[in-house]
C-alpha cells in the first residue's frame, strides 16, 4: 500500500467534521481505497453507498429531508462512492450538512465537471475539495530510496503510475491492464458527461493529442483532421481535462509582443495512458520520444507536487515567435522560476531573450541526475 499524501489532511478534516469532503480523480487512481483505508482506522459507524445501486440514487436525489434523515440515522459517516452519477447530489448533501449535525460526509467522483455541477456549487462553503492523481513520485518516495526511484524511471515513463501498475509483475500484465483501462474506463465518464454521440472521434482526438505532447495545439488543425469544428474540439478537450485525462498549459506572457500565448500545450496526467493510446509501450531505449515523455512526466509530477503541498502557483510554457522556448515557467509568490526538462545530460543555457525580459527569474535544467529535489523534496516554508 503506497501512502497517499492527502490522506492525513483528509483524516484531519474528517475528525473535525462540519463540512462535507469531496474527492475528485480519474477512475482507478485509488479514491475508494483511500477512503476505505481512512475509515477502517476509525470507530465511526459508516454507511457506504455506491451510486450503482438504484435505491441509493433514489433516496440521495430525493430532496426529501425526512427520507435523507432516515437513511443516515444511527450512522456517524456517510460515504457516497461515484457520487457524480447521482442526480441532484449536491442539493441533497447540502440538506444533510445543514440539517444533520455531527454527520460526516465523504463523496468521491471521477469527474470534476459532473460532480462540480451537481455538488460543488450547492455546497459552496460547506465542503473541502481534494484531487487524487495517479501515484506521484513524492508519494512513492515514502517507500523507496532515491536509487530505487531513479532505477524505475524508465518504467514510470513507459507504463505510468496508476496504482494497479505497481502490483503487476510482468510487462505483459501491465500492457493488458492499461489496454483495459483505456478501452473500458477512460472514455466512460467523458462520453456520459458530454452526452457524446461519436465516441470514436473522442478516441481519435486523444490519439492526435498523444502524438503532440510538448507541442502547441491548433484547434483548427485538429478539427480539420477530425472533421469537427474547432469549437467542438475545444469542448472535447475541456471534458477530457475535467475528467483528469489531460491538462493544458497556456503560454506565459507579460504582454511582450514577441511572446506566443494564444495556443495551449496538452499533456497527459499519466504517460502509460498516453503510450497506450498511440499503441507504443516499447522500452525507453527503443523509442524516439523519450525527450517528450520526460517533459510530460516531469510537468505532471511537478503539478502533483505543487498541489499535494497546497502551494499557490501558476504554471505555463514560454515561447517566442523566433523559436526560443522554455518547457515550464512557474509563478509562485511573485517569483518566476523557469525549468527545462532534458532526458539527456546536456544542459542548455537559458534563452537570452527570456533572461533579458525576466532578469529576476530562476532558471534550471532538470535531468534524471537532479530531478529528485524538483518533484520529491519538501515544500518550501
User: What domains can be seen in the chain, in order of their start residue?
Assistant: 7-131 (3.40.50.300), 137-195+233-375 (no CATH)
Q: How far apart are CA 78 and CA 14, in angstroms?
A: 11
Q: CB–CB of 188/114 below 8 Å?
A: no
Edge-to-edge strands, sheet with 313-319:
216-217, 264-268, 246-251, 313-319, 325-332, 335-341, 362-366
Number of Cβ within a 10 Å radius of residue 284: 16
54 or 305, which is more confident? 305
Q: Which uninterrupted H or E stretch holds 44?
A: none
The closest alpha carbon to 214, from 365, 314, 327, 320, belongs to 327
Question: Is beta strand 20-24 parallel, antiparallel or unpaired with respect to 127-131?
Answer: parallel
Q: CB–CB of 347/367 below 8 Å?
A: yes
Query: What is the per-residue pLDDT for 295?
Result: 97
pLDDT at residue 197 above 70?
no
Number of Cβ within a 10 Å radius of residue 118: 23
At 381, the pLDDT band (50, 70, 90 cuts) reads: low
Strand partners, 109: 24
All cell numbers assigned to 257 = 509582443
pLDDT at residue 35 above 70?
yes
At 333, the pLDDT band (50, 70, 90 cuts) reads: confident
Q: Report the pLDDT averaged over residues 91-97.
A: 93
What mean pLDDT, rounded, does the chain reach?
A: 90
Q: What pTM value is reported for the model?
A: 0.93
Instruction: Indicate the angle between helix axes 7-16 and 31-40, nearest 10 degrees.
Output: 50
Q: How far apart are CA 272 and CA 148, in angstroms?
A: 19
205 or 201, which is more confident? 205
All cell numbers assigned to 343 = 532526458
Amino acid at each position: 500500500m503506497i501512502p497517499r499524501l492527502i490522506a492525513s489532511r483528509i483524516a484531519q478534516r474528517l475528525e473535525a467534521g462540519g463540512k462535507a469532503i469531496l474527492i475528485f480523480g480519474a477512475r482507478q487512481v485509488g479514491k475508494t481505497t483511500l477512503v476505505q483505508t481512512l475509515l477502517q482506522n476509525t470507530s465511526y459507524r459508516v454507511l457506504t453507498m455506491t451510486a450503482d445501486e438504484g435505491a441509493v440514487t433514489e433516496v440521495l436525489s430525493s430532496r426529501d429531508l425526512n427520507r435523507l434523515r432516515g437513511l443516515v440515522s444511527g450512522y456517524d459517516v456517510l460515504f457516497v462512492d461515484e457520487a457524480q452519477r447521482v442526480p441532484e447530489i449536491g442539493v441533497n448533501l447540502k440538506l444533510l450538512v445543514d440539517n444533520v449535525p455531527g454527520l460526516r460526509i465523504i463523496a468521491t467522483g471521477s469527474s470534476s465537471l459532473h460532480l462540480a455541477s451537481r455538488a460543488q456549487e450547492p455546497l459552496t462553503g460547506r465542503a473541502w475539495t481534494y484531487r487524487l492523481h495517479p501515484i506521484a513520485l513524492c508519494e512513492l518516495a515514502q517507500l523507496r530510496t532515491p536509487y530505487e526511484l531513479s532505477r524505475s524511471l524508465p518504467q514510470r515513463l513507459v507504463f505510468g503510475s496508476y496504482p494497479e501498475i505497481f502490483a503487476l509483475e510482468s510487462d505483459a500484465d501491465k500492457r493488458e491492464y492499461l489496454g483495459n483501462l483505456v478501452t473500458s474506463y477512460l472514455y466512460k465518464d467523458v462520453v456520459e458527461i458530454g452526452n457524446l454521440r461519436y465516441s470514436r472521434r473522442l478516441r481519435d482526438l486523444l490519439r492526435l493529442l498523444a502524438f503532440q505532447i510538448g507541442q502547441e495545439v491548433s484547434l483548427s488543425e485538429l478539427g480539420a483532421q477530425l472533421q469537427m469544428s474547432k469549437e467542438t474540439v475545444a469542448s472535447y478537450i475541456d471534458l477530457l481535462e475535467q475528467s483528469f485525462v489531460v491538462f493544458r498549459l497556456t503560454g506565459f506572457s507579460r504582454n511582450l509582443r514577441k511572446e506566443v500565448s494564444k495556443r495551449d500545450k496538452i499533456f497527459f496526467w499519466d504517460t502509460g495512458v498516453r503510450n497506450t493510446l498511440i499503441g507504443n509501450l516499447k522500452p525507453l531505449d527503443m523509442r524516439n520520444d523519450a525527450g517528450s515523455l520526460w517533459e510530460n512526466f516531469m510537468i505532471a509530477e511537478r503539478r502533483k507536487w505543487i498541489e499535494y503541498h497546497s502551494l499557490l502557483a501558476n504554471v505555463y510554457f514560454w515561447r517566442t515567435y523566433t523559436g526560443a522556448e522554455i518547457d515550464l515557467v512557474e509563478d509562485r509568490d511573485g517569483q518566476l522560476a523557469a525549468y527545462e526538462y532534458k532526458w539527456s545530460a546536456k544542459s542548455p543555457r537559458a534563452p537570452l531573450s527570456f533572461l533579458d525580459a525576466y532578469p529576476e527569474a530562476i532558471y534550471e535544467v532538470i535531468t534524471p541526475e537532479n530531478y529528485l529535489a524538483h518533484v520529491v523534496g519538501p515544500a518550501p516554508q
